[in-house]
Structure 1
Amino acid sequence: MSNQTSLHVVFGSGPLGLSVVDELMVQGQRVRLVNRSGKADVPAEVEIVPADVYDLQQALQACEGAAFVYQCAQPPYHQWVEKFPSLQQNILEACAVVGARLIIGENLYMYGEVDGTIHEGLPYAATTRKGQLRARMAEAALNAHQKGRLPAVIGRGSDFFGPRVLGSTLGERVFVPALRGKTASFTGNLNLPHSYTYIKDFGKALVRLATEDQAYGQVWHVPTAPAATQRQIGEMIFEILGQPPKMSGMGRWMMAIGGLFIPEARETVEMMYEFEKPFVMDSSKFTRAFGQTATPLRDALAETIDWYRAYLNQ
């Protein structure tokens, strides 16, 4: 179990890493945030350390004194296949050396296309490059745990949204136009159920996993609200804003066209299956074990709108 003298090291200052920091600060923990720049919008009590984690020695220095390490860092989306394995492996190696517990935040890519609900017991059947990469990385971490090299646990969420989340399918292309009274741009078929994980719930869940001894060596789907169609989500957003709904769905063909000019869009094309059939995640295992439930979807959307409103008014 954690206590307030333990050092929690968070790799990555994107939305997930900062949500972990937020939860750790609520709990009064000692926190070190590690990123390339050594700069982040965090409370003054948070120690910020610059490090190039592709260099094992720098990863080791960043983990010095850590009891818990949260792996929330990732390369640019279009460089995942080339760069992600060495980044995560260096963090894993550093944890093993310093004797820290490793908590990894992941998505659902490794399962591939699933007919039915996505749960932790499914095989890793991805045929996409990024899905197979995620599978290899998850297996490496769990194998290291099983061999006794370090305690490791994995928390997985679906596509996420919330404060600070810009580059998501439920991110700035949806909320910014909606706030401006324009057409919100979703991805794929608007009429299929899709699970979205609220970023605050994700951060809170990773911190909970860190402190639960029985969680280690396992995969846990973090608390996520019941799936809704993107059309239903769009209608909720515009209802909260007091506006008539205006939304569109960008299909595979348009995404491929965008990929001619935008590397991130090009990398999204192979993942479009998520938006061409139901994509429903089951997080009941986590709730049964630890009692944490997801923030109701409408409440989470309202909080996200408040954040985007402040963001646009900066």
Structure 2
Amino acid sequence: MTQHVVVGAGPVGLAVMEQLRERGADVAAVTRHDPDFLPEGVESRLADVLYPDRAVAAFADADVVYHCAKPPYDQWPELFPDLTRGIVAGVEAAGARFVVAENLYMYGPVQARLSEDLPYAATGPKGQTRAECADIVLDAHEAGRIEATIGRASDFFGPRVRESVVGEQVFGAAVAGKRAKVFGDPRLAHTYTYVPDFARALVLLGERDEALGEVWHVPNPETVSTRRFVNLVYEAADVDPGFPHIIAAPGVALTLGGYLSAPLNYLSAPLKVLTEMRYAFEEPYVVRDAKFRETFGDAVEPTPLEDATAETVAWFESQREADETEPIHIETAPEGATESA
């Protein structure tokens, strides 16, 4: 049986594990600390794969490795390239296929729809770091050291996605009967990626030879304005249609919020990222996924937006019920730790 190893147990990593387990696959999760949750049947392996020798040991029997981990946001430039190099070393030693989950930061501000052939033009440190990490992976593939493919997604939403521009600030607010906090101009079109769809696409990329050596924008639900997206969330949460749903923060407030947000609050991460990424909410941000669809057909059909938002609301409602009976303890990662995407 093929051995699948997933690095990171955040929303994307867990969704990949669930997709693989639904197929009856042999799956191991590699994390730095004991994860709070793993799908049934997933083996837990503890290793800090920032260090190549530990990655080599953790991936020894791997046939496919999925990179779904990331350092803390404020340590990306210092840690992300070395984390990527450590994982690549482990993949190379195992002779495994490598599937990388990425976002779109490396492109920087664009004046057209985002497609895979755009140059890496990011001017901020997080976008430049993402570009460097992508180059590390693709350079290793071109050199024949590994077989790699990259799947890229826009802003996430879905079960377990709390640290997102539409996580607690939109879905969490909706189920609590509060107004959503959104950034930039909510009238603009913005592509959002449903995490279970992202996971299905990553698993497919790991299976298909034609995916190798290429970057792929994964299939997304239909692109609508952020205002329409928020309205769908509040409809799914059965909030009174007359209730004002949105508090919009302009660019100046966004920048200020990025500097003033409490550094240990888990909701501060999106604010700090958006200080650099504010351009994505001040112009239309539409992602093209035609390359994936034309190559793989309907192998990964994205979940309709109404269904995806409803499923996400249901998860947030279940968490709210659990939170009311049990206090939440939020741990911050120690310096040098690796978080999960």
Q: TM-score range by the shorter chain?
A: over 0.9
Contact 1:194 1:227 in 2 (8 A): yes
CA distance in 2, matches of 1:108, 1:241: 29
Counterpart for residue 127 of structure 1: 123
Question: Is 1:275 paired with 2:271?
Answer: no
Confirm or deny that 1:313 pairs with 2:321.
Answer: yes
- CA positional deviation for 1:38: 2.5
Report the Cα distance in structure 2 between the residues aligned to 1:12 and 1:40, rounded to whole angstroms: 12
Q: How many residues align?
A: 310
2:157 to 161, 185, 197: 161
Picking from 289, 295, 306, the partner of 1:289 is 295
For 1:227, the equivalent position in structure 2 comes to 223
User: Counterparts of 1:71 and 1:192 in 2: how far apart (Å)?
Assistant: 32
> 1:83 — aligned with what?
79
CA contact (8 A) 1:40 1:48 kept: no
Specify the alignment match of 2:334 in structure 1.
Answer: none
Distance in 2 (CA, whole Å) between partners of 1:130 and 1:275 is 17
**CA distance in 2: counterparts of 1:261 and 1:116, whole angstroms:** 31
CA distance in 1: counterparts of 2:104 and 2:171, whole angstroms: 23
| Letter matched to residue 277 of structure 1 | E
Q: What residue identity is the alignment partner of 2:279?
A: Y
- Which residue matches 2:190? 194
TM-score normalised by L of structure 1: 0.96
Q: What amino acid is aligned across from residue 260 of structure 1 in structure 2?
A: L
State how 1:1-314 maps to structure 2 within 5 Å. Answer: 5-242=1-238, 243-244=240-241, 245-258=244-257, 259-263=259-263, 264=269, 265-290=271-296, 291=298, 292-314=300-322
Query: Does structure 2 retain, via aligned residues, the 8 Å contact 1:113–1:274?
Result: yes
Offset, 1:58: 1.4
Query: How far apart are residue 252 of structure 1 and its match?
Result: 2.6
Separation (CA, whole Å) in 2 of partners of 1:308 and 1:43: 18
Q: Distance in 2 between matches of 1:189 and 1:89?
A: 38
CA distance in 1, matches of 2:84, 2:113: 28
User: Is this contact kept in 2: 1:38–1:51, CA < 8 A?
Assistant: no
Three-state SS of the structure 2 residue aligned to 1:70 is strand
2:256 is paired with a residue whose SS is helix
For 2:233 and 2:261, how far apart are their aligned partners in 1? Answer: 30
Distance 1:38 1:58 in 2: 16
2:126 and 2:179 map into 1 onto residues whose CA distance is 30
Which amino acid letter does the alignment assign opposite residue 77 of structure 2?
V
Task: Compute the displacement of 1:174 (Å).
Answer: 0.7
| Distance in structure 2 (CA, Å) of the matches to 1:250 and 1:50 | 40
Q: CA deviation at 1:147?
A: 1.0
Shift of 1:70: 0.3
Contact conserved, 1:166 with 1:172, CA < 8 A, in 2? yes
Residue pair 1:21, 1:31 contacting (<8 A) in 2 also: yes
Shift of 1:60: 1.2
Root-mean-square deviation (Å): 1.2
Percent identity between the two aligned chains: 43
How many angstroms does 1:50 deviate by?
1.0
> Aligned-pair distance for 1:251?
2.7
Which consecutive residues of structure 1, in runs of 5 or more, have no partner in the other structure? none
Q: What displacement does 1:208 show?
A: 0.3
Alpha-carbon distance in 1 for matches of 2:209, 2:109: 32
CA distance in 1, matches of 2:31, 2:125: 26
Deviations 1:145-170 (A, max 9, x none): 11100100000000010000001001
The AA in structure 2 aligned to 1:227 is: T
